[in-house]
Structure formats: structure tokens, C-alpha cells
């Protein structure tokens, strides 16, 4: 007989007891006056009184009438970009997030299966549970040849047998709807392994959404209540988000009464360091959901039981016996003020005192200094004959949020080349290929709507692409910024008149900073302020740049081979005709 059974029967002492709380049962949505008995890092029982199982060595935590909840689960995030989790996990735990389901498109996109394995290794010893997905991006062939060869594709598929892998990562619908794709081998393997396939359905509706629903199991891209309902009606689990990328909680709140809370989960879709410090992680998402009018019991269920059940995490999301001992004590449900956190049976936060600290990790040597792109003049040179007879070329027009559209602009012409014309809001933009097998070259085009008047900005944070993106009001500063990102091994660089005025190194694979969270937040703030000093006035200047290569959001994006016309699913060049 397991010790947990003996505790449940009152025949053995518990290791830990949370006493005197109002225990939330997500299965029924009730709060009940119960105690929680923990043994061998599992929930053993929920007795009305645990007095009989309190022994000499039992630790007792007094909930004192406060709410006792299961640990929060982030149903969709990106812990392999911006900030390494081992340097940030304590802030996640502080707000009650004990489990994350993460994409691996950063390290996995750059290093394939090796990158996913490195992330799993880096997070395996943390007192927070990390479940990951396999990145489909190396197999995508919609605009360019797949990165993954046969051996790499098989290695990615084999990862789906790992217990810490919960499925295939988010796939943009343009790769999967109405066409054959190498990614299908991942879907097929996931189905055999009983794992999920995650969707990214921005701009997907009607018949296309129905077709997509036959491929994927969840989607976090609904931005209206009707969009949430459309997904649920088609059997797609809808995941709402509140984080550094978007706030779509209003859509989730508007759909709860129509589809029921059980069909919905919550996520951050990534919380950058400043927002993490200022607001928290899933505690911030649950708080925002409650603020939008959702009943606290429903909001908590969306952040606990629902994502656990959807992703097959049978040992968490609930305080029922047999679940992992991930337990929160919350003294106010409206503000979601988490005071005590137990993760895997370990008290990691008590009375708002965090008892764990950042941890270091050494990644494989080749993950450091992993960026090498061309920065010579020819790498970003655009010949004058690329323009039409009227001197105009195709360009990307920044839109609201992550959206970007097709436009035509008139660049400056000098010495037989097309250059930026900041006085007309025409910047040069280049995406240089930093994949290990590339020659570091790429595609240079033009961008309008960003407002840069001087200097240059470059970053290796290129959503779902493996490159260095550089934007500038002149070629020299654009190349200087890209060159400095090279020297950093990845990250952000802002240049004005040849001088670096802000930088943030992403040492880990060119994808994430391995600094303390406070330092990363400080340097990101400095980078954003430096970009604004160049004349940029868009709402989120760093996110806007990072998303330019992200073909998952309509309609005109950037690849290393040309512009991606997302709607028509084809590469186009500078010639607007």
C-alpha cells in the first residue's frame, strides 16, 4: 500500500498539511472548508480535518480561512526566447504558476531537436514543471525550403515520445490548410503518441477554419468572442491570452456564457521581463480575466483543470488525491494575491517570501556565439534597377499590433543603389540568415510606418525565423547594428551615427538573455528608449520588429528570400507589378 493511501485512511502521518482553508474544487467549481494532506509530494486526501494525520514531523501551513487553489498552468508560452527560465522561474512561482506549456521555436528553430533537448535539460532541475512542444517550423516549406533534412525531421518526430513533450507546437494555418506539408509527419506521430497538435489560426475563419480544425486541437489566436465560439464549435480548444504580445481576455470573457468555461484555457503567450516584474505571470492573467467579469471560479478553472486535461497532464490542475502537490494560498480572489506556493510538495513561497532563487545552467558550447551573418555593404545593397519606372518598390507597411501590409514606397537613389528615405518614412529593412548551415546572407527591402528618422536597430529575436533583422535610416547604421548583434552572439543593438547607444545580449542560442530578470528588463527598457530616440513612435517598437518575419500573422512579412505574401502564400520581390 502506498503511503498516500495510509494517509488518506488516517493510518499514517502526512508530510505536509494545509489547514483551515477554503479549498477550491475545479471539477465542481466549489470552495469548501477542507484541509489538504500531502505525502510523497502528492495530494493524499482532502479531509474536513487533518488532525489525525498530523505527526511530529508533519509541517502544518495555516491557510487561516483563505482560498486554497491548484497551482496555475500557463497553457501557451515561450520560455526559450527573451529570458531564460532558470533565471526567471522564481517570479513565475511567486505568482502561483507551477506549470508551463511552452513552445520551443526559439532554440528548436535554431538547433532543431538538439535545441529542444537543451531546453528540457536546462529546466529539468527547477522547482517548476515545464512541458514542451516540438517546433514545426524546421519542416515548414510554404515560402522557403524546409530547414530539417530527413534525419532531423525524424529526430523531431521521435521527441514526441518523451513524457515532457505534450505535442506539436503552434503551426500557422497557412502551412497546413489546403496543401500537403512535411509537418504532417509530426501530426501523425503526435496522434500515435496521444499528444496534441497546436494551432495558430490568426486570420483563419469559415471553411479554412473548419479545415484547420481537422488538423489541430487548440488555438490561441481568437481575438473576438465570435472567434472563440467558432473554434469551440469546431472542436478546437480555445486558449485566451494576456501577456506581452496581446490581450485577448475580452474575447474569452465574451464567450464564456456561450460555450462554457470547461472549453477554455488561459495563457500568457509570453511575458517579457518588465511585465513579469510589474504584474506577474498566470496570476496576472487570472486577475485580468476576473476584471473582465468572469466568475473567479471559472477563471481559476481555465488556469488549472482545463489546460491540464487538454494536454493530458493527469497529475495536476486539481487538488484531488493523486495529483502533484502544487497548491496555492490566495488571500483575495479579486486581486489574486498569492501568499503561499507549494510546488511539487516543496514550499517555495510562504507569506509572500520567495524561498528559491535564480539558477545557472551551461548550454552546449555551440549555443553561445551562435549568430554569424553578413554585414558587408553588399549584404544589404539594393540596386537602383530594382525599382519600377516611377522609382517605386514594394514595401512592408506596419499595421496595428503584429499586422503588416503591402505598400509601395519611393526610396532614395544614390550611386546606383536604393537607400532609405527617412523624410518620406521609408526605412531599409533586411532579414539575414543566421542558421548554422547558411552563408549569412538574406533579403533587403523597405519598411514604412515605423517612423525611424536616423540610426539603425538590429535583433536576432525574429519570431519563427532564424535570422538577424535590421532596420535603418541609412545603410551604415543598419549594418553597424547587425554587426554588433553578431558580436553579442545575438540580442538587440541600437546604433546612432555609428555608435552603439543600447544593447542587450541574447547569449543562449541568440534567443534569450541569461541575465537576472531585473537586468534584462532594464536593458530592454533602455533598448526601447533608444529606439524611440531615433524617431520611432509606434506603440511597441521592439515587438513590431521581432514580428516582421512572423508569417503566422497576415498579410506581408519578411523572409531571407523575399517578401512573404501570406494570403497568396507566395514569395514576392521588390517589383510591385
Tens-level pLDDT at each residue, the chain (577 residues): 899 999 999 999 999 999 999 999 999 999 999 999 999 999 999 999 999 999 999 999 999 999 999 999 999 999 999 999 999 999 999 999 999 999 999 999 999 999 999 999 999 999 999 999 999 999 999 999 999 999 999 999 999 999 999 999 999 999 999 999 999 999 999 999 999 999 999 999 999 999 999 999 999 999 999 999 999 999 999 999 999 999 999 999 999 999 999 999 999 999 999 999 999 999 999 999 999 999 999 999 999 999 999 999 999 999 999 999 999 999 999 999 999 999 999 999 999 999 999 999 999 999 999 999 999 999 999 999 999 889 999 999 998 878 899 999 999 999 999 999 999 999 999 999 998 778 889 999 999 999 999 999 999 999 999 999 999 999 999 999 999 999 999 999 999 999 999 999 999 999 999 999 999 999 999 999 999 999 999 999 999 999 999 999 888 999 999 999 999 999 999 998 7
C-alpha dihedral over 247, 248, 252, 253, to 10 degrees?
A: 60
C-beta separation of 387 from 418 below 8 A = yes
**What are the structural domains of the chain?**
71-317 (3.20.20.140), 368-572 (no CATH)
CA nearest to 163, candidates 348, 345, 315: 315
pTM equals: 0.97
**pLDDT score, position 577:** 76
Helix H or strand E encompassing 523: helix 517-533
Degrees, nearest 5: CA angle 572-576-577: 100
Q: What does residue 123 show for φ and ψ, rounded to 5 degrees? A: -105, 0
Strands 404-409 and 393-398: antiparallel
Q: b or e along 492-527 (b: 16 or more beta carbons within 10 Å of the residue's beta carbon)?
A: bbbbbeeebbbbbbbbbbbbbbbbebeebbbbbebb
Enumerate long-range contacts of 550-553, CB under 8 Å, 24 or more apart.
Answer: 550/402, 550/463, 550/464, 550/465, 551/142, 551/143, 551/172, 551/174, 551/464, 552/170, 552/172, 552/173, 552/174, 552/200, 552/202, 552/463, 552/464, 553/202, 553/203, 553/402, 553/403, 553/404
- Residue 479, classified by CB atoms within 10 Å of its CB into exposed (0-12), middle (13-18) or buried (19+), is buried
Q: Is the dihedral of CA 78, 83, 87, 89 positive or negative?
A: negative
Cell of 455: 540610426
C-beta separation of 300 from 286 below 8 A = yes
Cell of 401: 499590433
CA nearest to 187, candidates 202, 172, 167: 167
CB atoms within 10 A of CB 482: 32
CA nearest to 490, candidates 507, 473, 469, 476: 507
Cell of 53: 494525520
Q: b or e along 99-126 (b: 16 or more beta carbons within 10 Å of the residue's beta carbon)?
A: bbbbbbbbbbbbbbbbbbbbbbebbeeb
Q: What does residue 82 show for φ and ψ, rounded to 5 degrees? A: 70, -60
C-beta separation of 83 from 270 below 8 A = no
Amino acid at each position: 500500500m502506498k503511503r498516500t493511501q495510509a494517509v488518506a485512511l488516517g493510518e499514517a502521518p502526512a508530510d505536509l498539511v494545509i489547514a483551515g482553508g477554503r479549498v477550491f474544487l475545479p471539477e465542481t467549481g466549489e470552495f469548501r472548508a477542507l484541509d489538504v494532506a500531502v505525502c510523497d509530494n502528492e495530494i493524499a486526501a482532502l479531509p474536513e480535518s487533518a488532525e489525525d494525520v498530523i505527526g511530529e514531523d508533519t509541517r502544518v501551513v495555516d491557510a487561516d480561512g483563505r482560498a486554497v487553489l491548484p497551482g496555475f498552468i500557463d497553457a501557451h508560452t515561450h520560455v526559450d526566447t527573451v529570458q531564460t527560465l532558470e533565471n526567471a522561474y522564481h517570479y513565475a512561482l511567486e505568482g502561483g504558476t507551477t506549470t508551463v506549456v511552452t513552445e520551443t521555436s526559439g532554440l528548436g528553430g535554431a538547433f532543431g531537436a538538439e535545441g529542444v533537448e537543451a531546453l528540457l535539460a536546462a529546466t529539468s532541475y527547477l522547482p517548476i514543471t515545464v512541458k514542451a512542444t516540438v517546433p514545426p517550423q524546421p519542416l515548414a516549406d510554404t515560402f522557403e525550403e524546409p530547414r530539417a533534412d530527413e534525419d532531423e525531421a525524424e529526430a523531431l518526430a521521435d521527441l514526441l515520445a518523451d513524457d515532457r513533450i505534450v505535442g506539436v507546437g503552434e503551426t500557422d494555418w497557412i502551412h497546413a490548410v489546403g496543401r500537403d506539408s512535411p509537418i504532417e509527419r509530426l501530426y501523425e506521430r503526435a496522434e500515435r503518441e496521444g499528444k496534441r497538435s497546436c494551432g495558430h489560426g490568426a486570420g483563419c475563419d469559415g471553411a479554412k477554419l473548419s479545415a484547420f480544425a481537422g488538423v489541430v486541437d487548440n488555438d490561441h489566436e481568437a481575438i473576438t468572442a465570435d472567434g472563440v465560439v467558432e473554434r469551440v464549435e469546431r472542436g478546437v480548444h480555445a486558449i485566451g491570452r494576456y501577456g506581452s504580445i496581446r490581450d485577448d481576455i475580452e474575447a474569452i470573457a465574451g464567450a464564456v456564457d456561450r460555450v462554457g468555461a470547461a472549453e477554455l484555457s488561459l495563457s500568457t503567450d509570453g511575458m517579457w521581463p518588465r511585465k513579469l516584474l510589474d504584474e506577474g505571470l498566470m496570476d496576472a492573467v487570472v486577475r485580468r480575466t476576473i476584471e473582465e467579469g468572469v466568475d473567479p471560479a471559472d477563471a481559476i478553472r481555465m488556469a488549472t483543470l482545463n489546460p491540464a486535461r487538454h494536454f493530458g497532464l493527469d497529475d495536476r490542475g486539481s487538488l484531488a488525491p493523486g495529483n502533484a502537490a502544487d497548491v496555492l494560498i490566495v488571500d483575495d480572489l479579486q486581486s489574486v494575491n498569492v501568499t503561499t506556493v507549494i510546488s511539487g510538495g516543496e514550499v517555495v513561497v510562504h507569506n509572500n517570501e520567495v524561498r528559491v532563487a535564480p539558477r545557472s545552467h551551461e548550454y552546449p558550447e555551440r549555443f553561445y556565439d551562435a549568430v554569424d551573418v553578413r554585414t558587408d555593404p553588399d549584404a544589404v545593397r539594393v540596386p537602383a534597377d530594382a525599382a519600377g519606372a516611377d522609382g517605386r518598390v514594394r514595401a512592408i507597411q506596419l499595421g496595428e499590433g503584429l499586422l503588416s501590409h503591402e505598400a509601395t514606397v519611393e526610396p532614395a537613389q544614390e550611386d546606383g543603389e536604393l537607400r532609405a528615405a527617412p523624410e518620406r518614412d521609408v526605412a531599409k529593412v533586411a532579414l539575414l540568415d543566421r542558421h548554422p548551415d547558411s552563408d549569412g546572407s538574406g533579403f533587403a527591402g523597405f519598411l514604412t510606418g515605423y517612423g525611424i528618422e536616423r540610426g539603425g536597430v538590429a535583433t536576432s529575436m525574429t519570431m519563427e525565423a532564424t535570422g538577424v533583422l535590421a532596420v535603418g535610416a541609412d545603410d551604415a547604421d543598419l549594418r553597424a547594428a547587425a554587426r554588433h548583434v553578431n558580436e553579442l552572439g545575438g540580442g538587440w543593438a541600437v546604433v546612432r551615427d555609428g555608435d552603439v547607444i543600447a544593447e542587450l545580449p541574447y547569449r543562449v542560442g541568440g534567443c534569450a538573455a541569461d541575465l537576472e530578470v531585473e537586468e534584462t528588463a532594464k536593458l530592454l527598457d533602455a533598448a526601447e528608449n533608444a529606439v524611440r530616440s531615433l524617431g520611432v513612435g509606434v506603440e511597441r517598437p521592439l515587438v513590431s520588429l521581432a514580428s516582421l518575419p512572423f508569417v503566422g500573422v497576415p498579410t506581408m512579412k519578411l523572409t531571407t528570400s523575399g517578401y512573404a505574401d501570406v494570403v497568396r502564400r507566395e514569395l514576392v520581390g521588390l517589383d510591385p507589378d
